[in-house]
């Protein structure tokens, strides 16, 4: 089930999906997630939106990255992922988006349930 989630102090709904996802997954504020990601980007000499940057933040907080099986690369959606992963905290990456799944629900500013996941992080 999709649950609206937007911790952005400005109410922004675009361009900060990695910050929102890290915020929800780690249980920290948007500002705290932003600072973690920006500091990691600075240390890695990379932009904050880079998968490597926010992924490293998750790794440092006990998450492990896994790949979605390639059995049906265009038919398996975030909604399907939620049905298959109804227990735990996950950060799911699609081709251009990131969303947090907790106990089978996905948290986002829009209903991203039809997006196609490529990989995910699990703690």
pLDDT in tens, 40-65: 999 999 999 899 999 999 999 999 99
Q: Indicate left, alpha or beta for 31 from its phi (over 0: left) and psi (-120 to 50: alpha).
A: alpha
Q: Cα separation of 30 and 43, whole Å?
A: 20
pLDDT for 15: 81
């Amino acid at each position: 089930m999709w649950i609206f989630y937007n911790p952005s102090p400005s109410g922004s709904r675009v361009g900060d999906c990695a910050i929102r996802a890290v915020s929800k997954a780690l249980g920290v504020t948007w500002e705290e997630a932003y600072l973690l990601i920006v500091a990691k980007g600075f240390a890695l000499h990379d932009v904050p939106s880079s998968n490597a940057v926010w992924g490293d933040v998750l790794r440092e907080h006990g998450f492990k990255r896994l790949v979605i099986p390639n059995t049906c690369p265009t038919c398996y959606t975030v909604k399907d992922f939620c049905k298959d992963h109804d227990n735990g905290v996950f950060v799911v990456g699609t081709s251009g988006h990131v969303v947090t799944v907790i106990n089978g629900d996905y948290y986002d500013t829009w209903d991203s349930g039809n997006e196609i996941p490529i990989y995910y992080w699990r703690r």
